[in-house]
Structure 1
Amino acid sequence: MSRRPRAAALLLLPVLAAGCGGADTAAAGDPLLPQDAASAAEVGLVDVPGLGGVLADGEGFVLYMFPPDVRARVTCTGPCAGSWPPLAVADGVIPAGGDGIDAELLGTLPDPNTGGQIVTYGGYPLYRYAGDVDPSTAHGQALLLNGAPWYVLDASGQPLTTDPRATP
């Protein structure tokens, strides 16, 4: 191998090592992805055509779960969290539940993106989708991104694994 290709390969190593997601690769308070941990969070239900009542944040934006999180593990970090921002709160904040929400299913996990906490429901970390620009829309439902599909949750904490073509 000549010197130029070897030097180019060495320059690419940090880029390749950075990857996309994975809790082990992101530092707390990722400087490239500034996100604030809120001082309050509410989880409620919104009605989405074709899906029914699904979890949403206090502003009515639909919340999703990511199967690789395997209940109680945050794997969506760094660039992944840019598309799927977590419902993050500051340390010590207890999330509130609106009508139809089982408060016993609410909890938090350490957030490697903000250094705060990610709100969970039934053990699943909760995320918004950047493509949902309006409340009560679920454009991320069953969307295959970052290595797995993303799903909305119903009031019992179960993922709704629908075909994305059936979701408006």
Structure 2
Amino acid sequence: MKPVIAAVASAAALAALVAGCSSSSKSTSSTASASSAASTSSTSSASSTASAPSTSASAAPASGATTLKTADSPDGQILVDGSGRTLYLFESDTTSASTCDGACATAWPPVTTTGTPNSSGVTASLVGTSTRADQSTQVTYKGHPLYTFADDANPGDINGQGSTAFGGKWYVVSPSGDPITTTATASAATPSSTSGGGNGY
């Protein structure tokens, strides 16, 4: 009888041990699953944060706004653009609306802008814009539409000063907004009548 009782007790103990191991395994599996899920969630969240675009970068100002400033020239202080190219007005423009289109606009490209023009060293209240026939926005100064000159290859060139083309005169512009009608460059280029004549002749 005792061997039977011992066998039963042994079987009961074994069953309890198996049950305990199963419970421990389930607990370990549950803990591992929870830990894995938490790790995956944390990694996903970090990845989402890293890939999110910066709001400060998207707040950068739009480009394309023309800058007006002044520069020295043989004719005095004149208006130039942000690259230092000389700006001109066309005397045939009697209002802020440009009358220079087609071939004229090819030879005398209008100064256009895609934003509010910037100014440096000029009178900001004189800076304005007008709408051209092609719906582009042209920069004006004291009501004068502004242009560059195709034959001005470099900043500082004023090859268009005093030209007559497309039915009117073209002049560089002073900081006051008035045309500079003098041509100091032409005077400087005129050879002196007192030079030369040496060599005993």
Name the TM-score, length of structure 1 as normaliser.
0.71
Look up the match of 2:176.
156
The number of equivalent residue pairs is: 126
Unaligned stretches of 5+ residues in structure 2 = 1-62, 190-201
Question: Given that residues 70 and 77 in structure 2 are in contact (C-alpha distance below 8 angstroms), is that contact kept between their aligned partners in structure 1?
Answer: yes
Look up the match of 2:71.
46
Change (3 A) 1:73 1:167: farther
1:120 CA displacement: 0.3
Structure with the greater alpha carbon radius of gyration:
2
How big is the alpha-carbon RMSD for the aligned residues of Structure 1 and Structure 2? 1.6
Question: Given that residues 54 and 155 in structure 1 are in contact (C-alpha distance below 8 angstroms), is that contact kept between their aligned partners in structure 2?
Answer: yes
| Whole-angstrom CA distance in 1 between matches of 2:77 and 2:93 | 23
| Whole-angstrom CA distance in 1 between matches of 2:133 and 2:188 | 31
Change (3 A) 1:40 1:109: same
Look up the match of 2:82.
58
Name the TM-score, length of structure 2 as normaliser.
0.60
Look up the match of 2:104.
80
Unaligned stretches of 5+ residues in structure 1 = 1-37
Runs of 4 or more above 2 Å deviation? 163-168
1:167 CA displacement: 6.6
**Are 1:96 and 2:121 counterparts?**
no
Higher relative contact order (CA 8 A, sep 6+): 1
Look up the match of 2:165.
145
Question: Given that residues 88 and 111 in structure 1 are in contact (C-alpha distance below 8 angstroms), is that contact kept between their aligned partners in structure 2?
Answer: no
**Are 1:107 and 2:128 counterparts?**
yes
Counterpart residue type for residue 92 of structure 2? P
Change (3 A) 1:73 1:119: same
| Whole-angstrom CA distance in 2 between matches of 1:143 and 1:126 | 15
